[in-house]
Amino acid sequence: MSLIRLLIDEDSMDHRFVRALRARRIDITTVGEIGTISFSDEDQLILATQQQRVLYTFNVGDFCQLHNIFISRNQIHSGIIISSQEYSIGEQMRRALKLIATKSAEEMVNQLVFLSAYAAIE
């Protein structure tokens, strides 16, 4: 089983979060780093899938809708993680690490996961 690799979308690109996960050896990149900030949400999700990355976002409305569209078309995506802007960087990191420790990349395929379901590691 493969470890989850992340693509952080424009709304979620906090350099402190990215740095914290990289310090823990998580494979992570951002739409800013790969030059796709102006791409549509659908194109970002397609790109994440092509790169075998799970898309991490705060954009619940658009990505819930996109997930449903992909499923209705029988179109595969590598997974979507929805986080809350209300979480501190530390809380996002702890919850993301819990998710990454409990799910594989293969288990994330075609899944929409809310980070709120992953309590911080005790």
Among left, alpha and beta (phi > 0; psi -120 to 50; other), residue 77 is beta
The whole-angstrom separation of Cα 3 and Cα 15 is: 21
Residue 10 lies in a domain: yes
Domain assignment of residue 1, yes or no? no
Q: What is the pLDDT of residue 13?
A: 87
- Mean pLDDT (the chain, rounded): 95
- Is residue 25 in some structural domain? yes
Spans of the chain, pLDDT less than 50: none
Ramachandran class of 36: left when φ > 0, alpha when ψ lies in -120 to 50, beta otherwise: alpha
pLDDT of residue 17: 95
pLDDT value, residue 1: 86
Q: Is the pTM of this model over 0.85?
A: yes
92 assigned to some structural domain: yes
Can you point out the beta strands (E) in the chain?
A: 6-8, 28-30, 54-57, 80-82, 112-114
Q: Are 58 and 85 a contacting pair, CB within 8 Å?
A: yes
Domain membership flag for residue 99? yes
pLDDT at 120: 58
Evaluate whether residue 103 is within a structural domain.
yes
* Number of domains within the chain: 1
Q: Does residue 122 lie within any of the structural domains?
A: no
Sheet of 112-114, strands arranged across: 28-30, 6-8, 54-57, 80-82, 112-114
Query: Whole domain around residue 101: which residue ranges?
Result: 6-117
